[in-house]
């Protein structure tokens, strides 16, 4: 007996539990703290019982002495062991081909339509995650909330310029726009699939209010539009900007406010900035976010930068229960925001916890290097850091894009190196490259998360 999507998912119940935009911003977004926490605890208890039946969690929780029935408060969540991507890799090796961390398997697709997406596809073995119909729908509701806050409205025409591939990225946006925002999606894919000139034509001709891609590519499209004889600020009807890229440059180029947001493949959208632009509100009806020390996994206090350890509260398929994702951020204490919301806020994505390099005794994050390099006038918002071994010493080299004349490149390189030395206290090499030179390294046309660092030691 095959169950179709509408039989597998009770859509009325789904919308009551996870209100979509715009209703969400008049209801759960403004809920009082007691209500937020009560909802979280009830869902957390339910998710713990479900995860306990998945072999991966059953095994790890037994080893750590954690009993899923012992969750009396959200605070108790700290007693459950966290896991990282390495544990997922080991699970796949020991239990090929899907690993034992999945809550569902292909045969369950008869009971409920399912999808599978891969992470880590370009380097090393792919890590699959199954999503039930319910998981896809709620995930799309969450993504649609973030897109709505960023300025996209029902009925808009939107270009989706992410890569439709084995990764969730493009599909998560597509489903959010199509199913929960009633937008008309033009499925251009990246510049490799639909040329930049065609993307510009589509955007201008059909009055697209957003082009979903990186900030760098959007700025490049504006340049292409100018080369084609358009005036990007007048001819584009852009109303929502990407959350990755040089915010100031994007805002000034398009005259639109930028709203940061955060999400990742396995759990979809987690948080979004509000008009107060002071931290990203977490969708707490669907997540508990904790911050831990990237090296030890120990709890860190509010305000301290560490790795995001996430527990989703909404799924029916593969659980993420204390997944230490190694993305860096920090938490704000719970207090009411100027926008009226009590939802906890987190800082924007601040780099990768596993990318830290110890350089002559100083801890350096590649993202900090990139940010400082871009603060030097004459640089374009595109960079890449490599860790290399020179004369038995660890060194960092930052490549920065610039369009300055050949005769000015040496002076710019020296200026970047001087500023890095001044700000970080260690010498870091710089090189100046041309637009497009870093695309193969950053994977700008392939992946929704730009790569900014490579360890070549
Ligand atoms: Zn707010």
134-188 confidence digits (pLDDT tens): 999 999 999 999 999 999 999 999 999 999 999 999 999 999 999 999 999 999 9
CA of 329 to the centre of ligand 1 (A): 17
How many CB atoms lie under 10 A from the CB of residue 198? 12
CA of 278 to the centre of ligand 1 (A): 7
CA of 348 to the centre of ligand 1 (A): 14
Look-up: residue for tokens 């891609």?
213
Burial of 76 (0-12, 13-18, 19+ CB in 10 A): middle
CATH superfamily label, 356-455: ANL, C-terminal domain (3.30.300.30)
For residue 195, what is the DSSP state? -
* Sequence-ordered list of residues with C-beta below 8 angstroms from that of 233, at least 6 positions apart, any chain: 253, 254, 255
Element (H, E) at 1: none
Top-level class of domain 151-254: alpha beta
Q: Does residue 359 contact residue 426 with C-beta atoms inside 8 Å?
A: yes
pLDDT in tens, 61-75: 999 999 999 999 999
* Rounded Cα distance, 92 and 102, in Å: 10
CA of 338 to the centre of ligand 1 (A): 6
CATH 3.40.50.12780 domain span(s) along the chain = 5-137+261-346
CA of 271 to the centre of ligand 1 (A): 11
3-state SS track over 326-365: EEEECECCCCCCCCCCCCCEECCCCCEHHHCEEECCEEEC
At 367, the pLDDT band (50, 70, 90 cuts) reads: confident
The fold of the 5-137+261-346 domain, in CATH, is Rossmann fold (3.40.50)
CA of 3 to the centre of ligand 1 (A): 40
Q: Does residue 181 contact residue 154 with C-beta atoms inside 8 Å?
A: yes
Gyration radius from the chain CA atoms: 22
Give the angle subtended at the CA of 242 by the CAs of 238 and 247, to the nearest 5°. Answer: 95
CATH 3.40.50.280 domain span(s) along the chain = 151-254
Q: Which of 111-115, 145-149, 231-235 has the lowest mean pLDDT?
A: 231-235
List, in sequence order, every residue forming a beta bridge with 288; answer none if it has no partner. Answer: 311
CATH 3.30.300.30 domain span(s) along the chain = 356-455
């Amino acid at each position: 007996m095959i169950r179709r999507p509408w039989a597998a998912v009770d859509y009325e119940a789904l919308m009551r539990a996870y209100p979509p935009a715009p209703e969400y911003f008049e209801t759960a977004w403004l809920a009082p703290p007691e209500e937020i926490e009560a909802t979280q605890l009830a869902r957390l208890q339910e998710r713990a019982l479900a995860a306990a039946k998945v072999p991966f969690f059953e095994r790890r929780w037994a080893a750590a002495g954690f009993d899923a029935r012992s969750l009396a408060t959200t605070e108790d969540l700290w007693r459950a062991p966290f896991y990282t991507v390495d544990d997922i890799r080991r699970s796949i090796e020991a239990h090929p081909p899907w690993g034992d961390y999945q809550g569902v398997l292909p045969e369950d697709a008869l009971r409920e339509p399912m999808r599978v997406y891969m992470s880590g596809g370009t380097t090393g073995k792919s890590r699959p995650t199954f999503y039930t119909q319910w998981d896809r729908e709620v995930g799309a509701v969450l993504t649609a909330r973030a897109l709505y806050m960023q300025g996209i409205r029902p009925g808009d025409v939107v270009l989706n310029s992410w890569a439709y591939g084995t990764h969730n990225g493009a599909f998560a946006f597509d489903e959010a726009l199509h199913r929960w925002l009633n937008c008309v999606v033009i499925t251009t894919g990246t510049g490799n699939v639909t040329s930049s000139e065609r993307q510009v034509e589509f955007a201008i001709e059909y009055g697209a209010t957003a082009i979903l891609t990186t900030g760098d590519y959007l700025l490049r499209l504006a340049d292409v539009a100018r080369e084609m004889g358009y005036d990007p600020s007048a001819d584009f009807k852009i109303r929502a900007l990407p959350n990755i890229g040089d915010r100031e440059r994007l805002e000034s180029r398009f005259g639109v406010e930028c709203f940061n947001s955060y999400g990742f493949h396995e759990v979809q959208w987690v948080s979004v900035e509000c008009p107060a632009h002071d931290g990203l509100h977490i969708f707490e009806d669907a997540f508990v976010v904790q911050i831990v020390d990237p090296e030890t996994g120990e709890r860190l206090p509010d305000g301290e930068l560490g790795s995001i350890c996430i527990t989703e509260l909404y799924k029916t398929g593969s659980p993420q229960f204390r997944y230490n994702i190694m993305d860096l951020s920090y938490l704000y204490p719970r207090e009411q925001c100027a926008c009226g919301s009590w939802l906890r806020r987190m800082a924007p994505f601040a780099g990768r916890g596993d990318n830290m390099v110890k350089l002559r005794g100083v801890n350096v994050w590649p993202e900090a290097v990139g940010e400082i390099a871009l603060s030097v006038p004459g640089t374009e918002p595109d960079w890449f850091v490599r860790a290399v071994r020179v004369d038995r010493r660890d060194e960092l080299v930052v490549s920065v894009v610039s369009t300055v004349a050949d005769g000015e490149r040496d002076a710019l390189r020296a200026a970047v190196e001087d500023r890095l030395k001044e700000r970080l206290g260690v010498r870091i090499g710089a090189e100046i490259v041309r637009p497009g030179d870093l695309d193969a390294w950053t994977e700008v046309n392939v992946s929704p998360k730009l790569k900014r660092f490579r360890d070549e030691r």
